[in-house]
Structure 1
Amino acid sequence: MVRPLLLAATLVVFLAGALLPAPALAWGPMGHRLVAQLAWDDLTPAARRQAEMLLKGEPDATLPGIASWADDLRDSDPVLGKTTSRWHFVNIGEHDCAYEQVRDCPNGNCVVEAIRAQAAILADTKRTRAERLQALKFVVHFVGDVHQPLHAGYGRDKGGNDVQINFNDRGTNLHTLWDSRMLLSTGRSEADYLRRLRALPRPDVGAIALPPPSADWAEQSCRVVTQPGFYPRRAKLEQSYVDQHLPVVEQQLRAGGVALAKVLNAALSRG
């Protein structure tokens, strides 16, 4: 028989753990799926054939279906998830948003170099199908990540994770707000948002060859973070903050989709 005091203590521990905020991920599943679907729209026929070949046999054999795979590693493959955990971001806010590889990305452990390395693996037809599939999953995710401004922001607040706010009477942090809370606050479905993003003007990201210009994308994202008003003045967030910054979220998602398509077209140009 479980002692009442032991049961009560166990319940307290469980509830305390349940109330702890989960680690913030980039964009969240809907944002990553939107970037991937926007990219699919712009793939060349050859790149689509190659992507479909690599994705064959996946539970959801589409680009949106694998878009959150790199975040899901935390649960599905903790070892690989830990090994690649620093590949999701780069901290350059403290350096006026100017990326320097030696200083900002030791041993290639940041999103800028991860995109370059994984795009090279994806493009290498001498690699095994399994290696190229994994690289595709990483590229799809990390190009989305680098367009989330707080994944290229300040190290001192862990990309906004340490900035606690209250939004719609719920506690959260600034990183999570930009990942998903602003998108979800609109009440739009994924299909509605996809139509909305497709209607936005296409950003000019220029021609892309390999290696892709991932440092440029990180620097551009960082400059969003350093704009006046990005960090709210009060912990309790006003709707005006969302009204001001939601268009930036949408622009970054749209840019991520265009950039991802160009990377995939360059890497999957054969076949």
Structure 2
Amino acid sequence: MTATHTANAPARRLLGAALALLCLPLPALAWGPQGHRLVAALGWEGLTPAARAEATALLAGEPDPTLPGIANWADELRANDPDLGKRSAKWHYVNLAEDDCHYDAARDCRNGDCAVAAIAAQSAILADRGRPRAERLQALKFVVHFVGDVHQPLHAGYAHDKGGNDFQLAIPGQPERPDGYGSNLHSLWDSSMLSMSKLNDAAYLTRLRKIAVPQVRGAGLPADAAGWAEDSCKLVLQPGFYPPTHKLDPSYVQTWRPLAETQLRLGGEHLAQVLNAALAPGR
């Protein structure tokens, strides 16, 4: 074996390990990139002038210094900051469906590791003007993302199927695996139902703005994230939410996409509530 071959062996092993990691299945993301951007854009529209000014100051220097521009940062941590991504992994969801959608912190959010506690904790950091700007910016990124997460019903759904990730689904027109499936219910709600509309962000925002603002829960800090999660979970328990044949029927999208879009609209309203209270309290 040559010296060059020996010297390159560690590099080849690292490359092999990296390629292996890329082949591992990743859990589905809440709403997918477009859904999170839409929630963030709607949230921005609901900010007071004072809250907008504070958010703008925190976002200065970001590659895309807007709320939609940071909306997917928390999902990108898996690749960009694996340690923080691992530590924050449980902050994206809370499993309530096994318990009839009733949130109990001691049972459902041990050590504060769930979306409900994460929204409250990160909102408090964001509101604390005594903290370093970098900490408040990171908290802003988390809050924007996690508020979106709790409005995706399967992020408040069953633990036994990992929020629909284990509920396999065949979608007509999409490639199938040898087992006959090609997707799962979580992925359908994350992005597939939205992408079937074939609308870009601007067009989708126009559509979402036409939805009458539903009754919103809570105001100020701490945010009523538990109530939002409970309401999201109740959709999971509705008859027909889980396609009975594991094959997507066109009527499913016609029935459920309007509810998904209402959840996006609610997410934007609640995000504005949280950010107005954290960034410009009393104004």
TM-score (norm 2): 0.88
CA distance in 1, matches of 2:222, 2:100: 24
Q: 2:170 aligns with which of 166, 170, 173?
A: 166
Name 2:236's counterpart in structure 1.
Answer: 225
Q: Does 1:148 align with 2:159?
A: no
Which position in structure 2 is the counterpart of 1:199?
210
Change (3 A) 1:242 1:132: same
2:86 and 2:19 map into 1 onto residues whose CA distance is 26
SS at match of 1:167: coil
**Structure 1: segments with no counterpart, 5+ residues:** 1-13
CA distance in 1, matches of 2:140, 2:19: 38
2:215 aligned with 1:211, yes or no? Answer: no
Q: What secondary structure, in the 3-state scheme, does the structure 1 residue paired with 2:242 have?
A: coil
Aligned length: 260
Give me the identity figure in percent. Answer: 62
Number of the residue aligned with 2:7: none
Amino acid at match of 2:138: Q
Which consecutive residues of structure 2, in runs of 5 or more, have no partner in the other structure? 1-17, 175-181
SS for the counterpart of 1:43 is coil
| 8 A contact 1:21–1:172 mirrored in 2 | no
SS at match of 1:61: coil
- Quick one: distance in 1 between partners of 2:167 and 2:20? 20
Correspondence for 1:190 among 194, 201, 221: 201
Looking at structure 2, the residues matched to 20 and 245 of structure 1 have their Cα atoms a distance apart, in angstroms, of 30
Match of 1:33 in 2: 37
Q: 1:169 Cα shift?
A: 3.2
Q: Is the 8 A contact 1:88 1:146 kept in 2?
A: yes
The equivalent of 1:181 in structure 2 is 192
1:61 aligns with 2:72: no
CA RMSD of aligned residues (A): 2.0
Residue 167 of structure 1 and its aligned partner are, at CA, apart by 1.0
Q: State the Cα deviation string for residues 211-266 of structure 1 (Å, max 9, x = none).
A: 00000000000000000100001122111111110001100000000000010000
Partner of 2:255: 244
1:2-41 map, 5 Å: 21-41=25-45
Structure 2 CA distance for partners of 1:18 and 1:99, relative to 1, 3 Å: same
Paired residues of 2:39 and 2:268 also in contact (CA < 8 A): yes
Q: Output the amino acid matched with 1:203.
A: P
When residues 21 and 186 of structure 1 are mapped into structure 2, their CA distance, relative to the original with a 3 A threshold, is: farther
Cα deviation, residue 19, structure 1: 7.7
Q: Following TM superposition, by how much is the alpha carbon of 1:74 offset from its aligned partner in structure 2, in angstroms? A: 0.4
Aligned residue number for residue 79 of structure 1 = 83
Aligned to 2:103: 99
CA deviation map 1:178-211 (0-9, x unaligned) = 0000000111111110100011101221551110
Q: 1:91 touches 1:152 (CA, 8 Å); kept in 2?
A: yes
CA deviation after TM superposition for structure 1 residue 23, in Å: 2.1
Specify which of 228, 242, 246 is matched with residue 235 of structure 1.
Answer: 246
